[in-house]
Chains A and B, each alone.
Chain A
Amino acid sequence: MKFLTFFILLTITTTASAYVNFIGHGYTSCLNCHYNPAGGGPLNDYGRVVGATAISSGALYPKDWNEEKVAYTSGFLFRKPKQNWLRTQINYRGFQLVQSPGSEANQTERWINMQLDGRVILKFGENDKFVSVLNYGYAPLPPGPKIQGVKNQTEWRSREHYLGYRFTPKFGVYAGLMDKVFGLRTIEHIAYSRSIPQMAQNDQVHGLKGHYLGEKWEMFGQYFVGNLAQDENLRMKGATGMIERTIFDIHRIGTSLTRSENTFLTLMSYSAHAKFNLKEGSALLGEIGQTSKDSKNGNTEEVSRWGLLQTYLRPVRGLYVLTNIEYKKDDVNMEDYTVRWGPGIQYFPIQRFEFRFDIYNERNFSPDSSTKDRWSYLLQTHIWL
């Protein structure tokens, strides 16, 4: 075990999260920077270099360092890996969450260690034709009592493990535990567009995923049997698909459809999204969608609708100013809806470090009431060693 730990540490390389808004740097497809073509999880070598150069600020490097030198140091111990078949990465994300700031009666503060992952990637063949990804780590359990039916509820578990093979550069197949492909994969797992259709950070499923990447079109199809860590009657089994098309050479529009069910619930969601490249790192992201939850026991159906608009501006390299605007209507037959609105700052002072500050201002709109807004802010730290 000690040898394994030592071995992993020796071969650790950089990892960062590439975000959807990096379309503002011209990256329309996640496959440019990730092993997983749908994004998320470990970065490939090119993604690490992009993270070190185009994304992170260059202000803290010595003046005589050029981009090539910075790119060269994007690997572990500031060196290029000496072999091509193994990559290891460590990733940490934690944040300070403050709710109802300034309120003597209601203010709460807590530090949450959101993620601590160790990642091992085996890759072989030309252009990493074959990949094997294991992502094991810490994620906090939801507050409150343990979830019924979920086996081995522990904070340490596999977040994803899968094998992938690209038959051609355009077509690949992936099998294992992965995130479901659906809509805009924003980093905010509390976003309504992720939580309502159950596409949040702990909603991975075992399944088979096909991916096609053409000149203009990118398509995903995924069949899944639920998370095998859950009791069988709770596993959400189904399929999901997403199609994106590049428009005007630099923008993307897309649509997603997913259906899944277990013994108690049938869930169906569909959405349309758009990603606009406003050049030099600035981007505009939008998504609208609808989810119907059909309870088999009570024969009740609830249809929810949501919208997401994320705007990014990059005043200087490494710094992104964003606005997060979300819309949620829990029941389309009711007039009530909620809007969550907030500015934020995302800063990459140097490769391997990301700091983020988000304000959330949530307002309910109802013909029957007028309530005070809910406020919270979040200070996030993301480190990849």
Chain B
Amino acid sequence: MVIVKIFILMLAFQSLAIGASDIINAFKRKDYHTISDTFKAAPNDTYTRQELVLISYSLRQMEFYRQDIKLNVRLINQKFKDRHTKILAAIRQGDSLDGDGYPEPLKVLYWNLLMDFSHIILGYDEKSPILESDRKFFNSFSKILSELEFREGKVDKINDQVLAHLEYLDKKVYQWSTSFSLSYVSWQSEAKLHGQGQDIALLVTNKGFCAGGDVGVENYLFHFYVDSCFLMGSGGIQALPNKSEIDYQQSNVPAYGVKISPGASMIVSTTKSRIGFRIPVIYSKQTLDDPPASKGYEALNEAPLSIITSLYSRWQFNRWYFQTEFGKYISKESTFWGLGVGYTY
């Protein structure tokens, strides 16, 4: 019976030796895939310390960070459970730790865990409950390594990277945004004197105010929104030179309308200054007086509905902002200007 047991034990040692040899040889060939597959197939097998180091390294190379975390935690529990418990208790009580009193391999295991969690966190492209859990573990190992004064410069650098990434994830989330604005505007529109036989083109130059606001979504880089405002102003109207046979001119003719502008902006500074494009649709109405009946013409407001492409800029001062808009009517020479202030809610 004893002989049988010894035989079985020898067989077991032989098989372990073959496995170990496979891992070391695979590592020499940089065949991390085989190593990680071997470990995943038999995670509870007995491995030498050197093999475990190689497996851990291979798992990280293969970006199997969660498996590496399990392996490192297992190693801490197996080899350094008491010391780990003591470290946690000291940190909880706010006691200082003497890094020299703890073995280097334990610190390396903590380092591996920190690196694994940092890689996992940096791999997230949006916030989630699992991320919050990983973040807590990352913070714990960062705290432990700082207390143990191990690779402090590198730990700080990784901390900064993770914090920057978490901030980026926060900032990239689109949030609703609304604002109110009031702008001084000027816009031109076309009208005509409609007569028997021919029409005479009129040019209308308006100025006034546009009061309204925008609703949309924005993150740290982009702002998509719809802006709308009510136009109130007045303008001068005149027949275009060289094209009229009658003298027609009016001043301060009231104008009313609506401007609705879907738009998109790129946010270009930390103060949230932004630049973008809008496609405003303007509906404006003006009542033109007819020339004397003897002239035989009727004044008509042409195309009250117009589409514009405009360049929009905004400079933010905390919640207040200053904005400009410069647009050109599609298929017309006329332009639209806007210059105003707004308040973001």
Selected contact of A325 from candidates B188, B324, B335, CB within 8 Å: B324
Q: Does A20 contact B (CB under 8 A)?
A: no
Q: How far is the CB of B268 from chain A (nearest CB, A)?
A: 5
Q: Do B313 and A373 touch (CB < 8 A)?
A: no
Q: Do B339 and A325 touch (CB < 8 A)?
A: yes
Q: Chain A contacts of B324 at CB under 8 A?
A: 309, 311, 323, 325
Q: Does A215 contact B (CB under 8 A)?
A: no
Q: Does A276 contact B (CB under 8 A)?
A: yes
B83-91, B152-160, B209-217, B269-277 - the one binding chain A: B269-277
Within 8 A of A (CB), among B225-258: 235-238, 240-241, 249, 251-252
Interface size on B, residues (CB 8 A): 35
Q: Chain A contacts of B237 at CB under 8 A?
A: 370
Q: Do A367 and B269 touch (CB < 8 A)?
A: no
Q: Besides the contacts A279-B270, A368-B236, what 11 more A-B pairs have beta carbons closer than 8 Å?
A: A278-B271, A278-B315, A279-B269, A311-B313, A311-B324, A315-B268, A325-B324, A361-B335, A369-B236, A370-B204, A372-B333
Distance A343 CA – B313 CA, assembled complex (angstroms): 10
- Per-residue CB contact flags for chain A residues 53-87 toward chain B (1 = under 8 Å, else 0) read 00000000000000000000000000000000000
Q: Does B24 contact A (CB under 8 A)?
A: no
Q: Does A284 contact B (CB under 8 A)?
A: yes
Selected contact of B273 from candidates A278, A339, A361, A363, CB within 8 Å: A278
Q: Chain A contacts of B203 at CB under 8 A?
A: 370-372
Q: How far is the CB of B239 from chain A (nearest CB, A)?
A: 9
Q: Do A309 and B236 touch (CB < 8 A)?
A: no
Q: Do B251 and A309 touch (CB < 8 A)?
A: no
Distance A365 CA – B251 CA, assembled complex (angstroms): 11
Q: How far is the CB of A23 from chain B (nearest CB, A)?
A: 13
Q: Do B236 and A367 touch (CB < 8 A)?
A: yes
Q: How far is the CB of A314 from chain B (nearest CB, A)?
A: 6
Q: Does B311 contact A (CB under 8 A)?
A: yes
Q: Do A365 and B269 touch (CB < 8 A)?
A: no
Q: Please judge, given known A-B contacts A325-B324, A339-B337, A369-B238, whether A282 and B186 are in contact too, CB under 8 Å.
A: no
Q: Please judge, given known A-B contacts A279-B271, A325-B324, A339-B186, whether A284 and B315 are in contact too, CB under 8 Å.
A: yes
Q: Chain A contacts of B204 at CB under 8 A?
A: 370
Q: Do A313 and B238 touch (CB < 8 A)?
A: no
Within 8 A of B (CB), among A178-223: none
Q: Do B268 and A363 touch (CB < 8 A)?
A: no
- Which of B266, B273, B311, B324 lies at the interface centre, i.e. has the most chain A CB atoms within 10 A of its CB? B273
Q: Please judge, given known A-B contacts A280-B268, A284-B315, A313-B313, whether A370 and B235 are in contact too, CB under 8 Å.
A: yes
What are 24 A-B contacts with C-beta separation under 8 Å? A276-B315, A278-B269, A278-B273, A279-B271, A282-B271, A282-B315, A284-B315, A309-B324, A313-B273, A313-B275, A315-B266, A315-B275, A323-B313, A323-B326, A339-B186, A363-B335, A363-B337, A368-B236, A369-B238, A370-B235, A370-B237, A370-B249, A372-B203, A373-B334
Q: Does A154 contact B (CB under 8 A)?
A: no
Distance A284 CA – B275 CA, assembled complex (angstroms): 13
Q: Does A342 contact B (CB under 8 A)?
A: yes
Q: Please judge, given known A-B contacts A278-B273, A323-B313, A325-B324, whether A314 and B207 are in contact too, CB under 8 Å.
A: no
Distance A276 CA – B269 CA, assembled complex (angstroms): 14
- Per-residue CB contact flags for chain B residues 61-77 toward chain A (1 = under 8 Å, else 0) read 00000000000000000
Distance A343 CA – B328 CA, assembled complex (angstroms): 12
Q: Chain A contacts of B252 at CB under 8 A?
A: 367
Q: Do A367 and B251 touch (CB < 8 A)?
A: yes
10 residue pairs, one from A and one from B, having the closest CB atoms: A370-B238, A280-B269, A370-B236, A282-B273, A370-B205, A367-B251, A313-B275, A279-B269, A282-B269, A278-B273
Q: Please judge, given known A-B contacts A279-B271, A323-B324, whether A373 and B188 are in contact too, CB under 8 Å.
A: yes
Q: Chain A contacts of B274 at CB under 8 A?
A: 313
With both beta carbons as reference points, the residue of chain B lying nearest to A366 in the complex is identified as B236
Selected contact of B251 from candidates A281, A315, A321, A368, CB within 8 Å: A368
Q: Do B339 and A309 touch (CB < 8 A)?
A: yes
Q: How far is the CB of B312 from chain A (nearest CB, A)?
A: 10
With both beta carbons as reference points, the residue of chain A lying nearest to B270 in the complex is identified as A279
Q: Chain B contacts of A363 at CB under 8 A?
A: 186, 188, 205, 335, 337
Within 8 A of A (CB), among B178-232: 186, 188, 203-205, 207
